[in-house]
Structure 1
Amino acid sequence: MDRYEGFREFVNARQQALMRTAYLLTGDAHLAEDLLQTAFTKVFRHWAKLAREGNPEAYTRRCLINEFVSWRRQRRWHAELSSARPPDAGRTGGENDALHRIALRHALGRLAPRQRAVIVLRFYEDRSVQETAELLGCSTGTVKSQTSHALDRLRAQAPELAGLLSDADPVHQEVTR
């Protein structure tokens, strides 16, 4: 039996979902591809054990997040660039939706790496506090505080997103009413 049996199937089945996560973390398609490739390389090295007794997707997501944080720390890297034409321009959903996506993308780019990871996992991937804590290797209290700080920072940096952000944080919604 090949010790890497199933790896190709795993990559084919989960690549698109993992790529979306990588893109949301980096804000750049090319960097997201590099990030995902790096994560897959790490998963490949440990595939035999992961396939036998682990959760390959959770391990891959954790590799994505850890590698992203490491890149940001090592390179002091800020790759987000404004463009004249938003990447979602061809999609339907109205002008306001497109403007919200652009504002949210730029605001996410100004968050600290861990805060951005928490927001992506909690609200884009719809992960629970417990799942997010496991993926990030921290306590649930840390996830809650990072979420709160990140949402506060997003509110300050992108007030035009207040409606979207109050839906994301019902506790804050009650306090501000």
Structure 2
Amino acid sequence: MRADEEREYTEYVAGRLSRLHRTAYMLCGDAHRADDIVQATLTALYVQWRKVSAAHNVDAYVQSILVRRYLDERRLRWSRVRLGGVPAHAAPIDAAEHGIVERDALLTALRALPKGQRAVVVLRYFDDLTVEATAEALKCSVGNVKSQCSRGLAALRAALTPAEAGTARGSRDGS
């Protein structure tokens, strides 16, 4: 890779790294696995940078790589193994005060979704992509995105308790 291409790649990654990690975390629900997914994405991006940088929508292309890496990892048998738990030296915190209870309930419900629905919901509502951009990133039809999104949101609503579902609807509606 030429020096100017290397600089462009570095600037692109520096500007989007935290968003990529957040998306990967929302997909897999584990910070360490998210690191692995982002690393695999950035490696593939580096190798293909000349092609990717010429693409019409670089962000959609990178989102597509990220989701494909996540889906590929999910197919591997070892990805179902969970190692460790909370470290013994972890300091206790007031979960209610930090909003951890609500976040944990949402992440648990999100993890229960099938991988296709989870990918659509994360890209649409956590990454704020349009239906068309989500379809482009996942390389599927707009209708598929709409149906997967509808099913995913219905499953999330059903998984949350009535009080949490009312809170989520109220915050979405602005009430």
Taking structure 1 as the reference length, the TM-score comes to 0.79
Query: Is the 2:117–2:148 contact (alpha carbons within 8 Å) kept by the matching residues of 1?
Result: yes
CA distance in 1 between counterparts of 2:94 and 2:122 reads: 21
2:126 aligns to what?
A: 124
Aligned equivalents of 2:50 and 2:97: distance in 1? 48
TM-score when scaled to structure 2? 0.79
2:137 aligns with: 135
| C-alpha separation in 2, matches of 1:80 and 1:113 | 18
Between the aligned residues of both structures, percent identity stands at 37
- Please tell me whether residue 158 in structure 1 is matched to residue 160 in structure 2: yes
> Shift in Å at residue 35 of structure 1?
0.2
Cα displacement string for residues 120-140 of structure 1 (whole angstroms, at most 9, x for unaligned residues) = 111111111111111111111
Which shows bigger deviation, 152-161 or 40-49?
152-161
- Between the aligned partners of 2:144 and 2:70, the Cα distance in structure 1 is 19
CA contact (8 A) 2:109 2:160 kept: yes
- The code of the aligned residue for 2:36 comes to D
Q: Which has the higher contact order (CA 8 A, sep 6+)?
A: 2
Q: In structure 2, how many angstroms separate the alpha carbons of the residues matched to 1:116 and 1:56?
A: 22
- Residue 50 of structure 2 corresponds to 48
SS of 1:138's partner is: coil
Change (3 A) 1:67 1:15: same
CA distance 1:124–1:58, change in 2 (3 Å): same
Long gaps (5+) in structure 1? 171-177
State the match for 1:146 in structure 2: 148
The separation in 2 between residues aligned to 1:168 and 1:113, in whole angstroms, is 26
Query: How many residues matched?
Result: 167
Against the structure 1 CA distance between its residues 82 and 159, is the aligned structure 2 distance closer, same or farther, given a 3 Å change threshold? farther
Residues 80 and 109 of structure 1 are in contact (CA less than 8 Å); yes or no, is this contact kept in structure 2? no
> C-alpha distance in 2, partners of 1:134/1:168?
29
Superposed CA deviations along residues 76-118 of structure 1, whole A, max 9, x for unmatched, are 7446799679xxx9799x6483321110011111111111111
Distance 1:38 1:80, change over 3 A: same
Contact 2:71–2:115 (CA under 8 A) maintained in structure 1: yes
Unaligned ranges ≥5, structure 2: none
Measure, in 2, the Cα distance between the counterparts of 1:169 and 1:143: 20
